[in-house]
Amino acid sequence: MNLSEIVDRFALDMPDHPALVFEDLTVSYGDLLSSINKLANALTKAGVRQGDRLAILLGNRPEFVAGYFACLRMGAIAVTLNPLSTAYELSHYFSDCKPAGVICKSDQIEKIQSIPDRAEYLKLIITTEPSEGTVSYEEIQRDFSDKFAALDLDPDHPAVVIFTAGLLGRALGATLSHRNLDSNSNMLRDDCGGGPEQRGLALIPLFHAFGAAVNLLGTLKVGGTVYLVERVDFPKLVPWLKAAQITYSGMVPMVYYGLLYHPSCRDLDLTSLKIGISGGAPLSMEIYEKFCERYKIDIYQGYGLTEASPVVSWNNVTIPNKPPTVGKPIPGVVVAIHDEDGKPVPVGARGEVVLKGPNVMLGYLGKSVETETVIREGWLYTGDLGFLDEDGYITLNGLKKDLIITSGFNVYCQEVEEILIRHSHVADVALVGVEDLMRGQVIEALVVPEPGVKPDERDIMRFCREYLSRYKCPRKVTIVKEIRRDAHGKPAGWS
């Protein structure tokens, strides 16, 4: 099998039907397949081979989609990275995945050039616009053949690597196979129905497992049109939404909040939206109820994680919607609740959510010990706490892992604390999540200063932003005398 062949089917049956819409550009299925094949030929000529990795360092734009499918088509592996990653973060990702190529905007070149030892494995850099020392995407589309047959691969061949802070609190490359991604997109096709008339809104970044599986693959699997949004800007987005008549989208709670409260959305009509999925973070009942009341549309909350490709469960359109649960497991996935000893607990009892199914990742790239820590006897241990009710619906009510979820992104406290403790004025530090209606939680850093030092809170935040993406950085720094911790090392109090 080869997941890229979902494009072939519609390129053959309806080549002129829109596959992608980006700003003023419409890309048909025929043109999308042509772009994918040209890129696959260019990568092959540069020496990229089956099993090699290609880093895609882009927002939601057509070049991302072409790069993603070109990798799958030739048996290479797409490493989808946040384009807002710092040079420090990229050096770690590159060290782990050693990409043979990169697709990016030219503003990423300086960060890439700062990565040590990149010349040992990096064969080419493709940019979305001409840039010195790189190959332009436009040049590839002009000079290469649009014929390239997809390789017939084992379903468990690696397709995508997504770096996540993992279930262990540090950035690891979750490796997803063609089978993993196919199972998730088949579920969306079967549960949501629809066909070429489906218009899916891709607001969530496609480098995120949720964005790629739900909004990209889920829409293309039925021959629909993906509307790509590179940056959420409500004043520009709203008139575009009115014209697009979106029928389907997976979004994080922050977007639902914006659609409710942003001034530009005051007269917005969303009656075209038939399926609205919420994931990435808990959706508050306040936002759910107000959104449903105003727009007369239900929201189907789901649950997933990168290591599960990502969808595990959701309140889908084929079953009764039971907010605030995250629905029932998707077809083929078994969910159980285990106690501290890895034993199943009775219905209604709280414990750790574990799962089995065709969506469970192959493992963490090059990290067998870490993989065996989270996948035990076939069960993926999620680090999320919750319970199953008598109808099989899942309710989440806590975290075993030291994690803050902000605006749909997972931030592992250890990663941020290891950066902050390097600041010369910081003697001790701990992160806490502060409840926030729009973002779910925002990050506050509790800082114990070095003796005799009066630290500047703004300087500490600037220091953090030098090393980590903005969403990982605290929005507030609070100076405290001491931090008290529980038996697990989590902050239990401060003064």
Q: Tens digits of per-residue pLDDT, 181-223?
A: 999 999 888 888 889 999 999 999 999 999 999 999 999 999 9
Per domain, the residue ranges of the chain are: 5-153, 199-399, 403-494
Q: Tens digits of per-residue pLDDT, 5-41?
A: 999 999 999 999 999 999 999 999 999 999 999 999 9
Q: Do domains 5-153 and 199-399 have the same CATH topology?
A: yes
pLDDT band at 346 (very low <50, low <70, confident <90, very high): very high
The identity of residue 491, as a single letter, is P
Instruction: Name the region of 219 (left: φ>0; alpha: ψ -120 to 50; beta: rest).
Output: alpha
Q: Is the CB of residue 203 less than 8 Å from the CB of residue 255?
A: yes
Residue 483: how many other CB atoms lie within 10 Å: 18
Residue entry with tokens 């997504």:
162
* pLDDT exceeds cutoff 80 at 168: no
Nearest-angstrom CA–CA distance, 185 and 1 = 14
Please state which architecture CATH assigns to domain 5-153.
3-Layer(aba) Sandwich (3.40)
Tell me whether residue 25 is exposed, middle or buried, using C-beta atoms within 10 angstroms of its C-beta: 0 to 12, 13 to 18, 19 or more.
exposed
Q: Is the CB of residue 176 less than 8 Å from the CB of residue 361?
A: yes
The tally of CA atoms less than 13 A away on the side-chain side of residue 138 is: 5
Can you give the pLDDT at residue 70? Answer: 98
Tokens of 386: 């919750």
Nearest-angstrom CA–CA distance, 173 and 366 = 8
Tokens of 114: 């700062």
Q: Which fold has domain 199-399?
A: Rossmann fold (3.40.50)
Phi, psi of 472 (to 5 degrees): -85, -15
pLDDT band at 167 (very low <50, low <70, confident <90, very high): low
Angle, alpha carbons 460-411-418 (nearest 5°)? 45
pTM, whole model, 2 decimals?
A: 0.92
Please state which architecture CATH assigns to domain 403-494.
2-Layer Sandwich (3.30)
Q: What percent of the chain has pLDDT over 90?
A: 83
Can you give the pLDDT at residue 487? Answer: 67
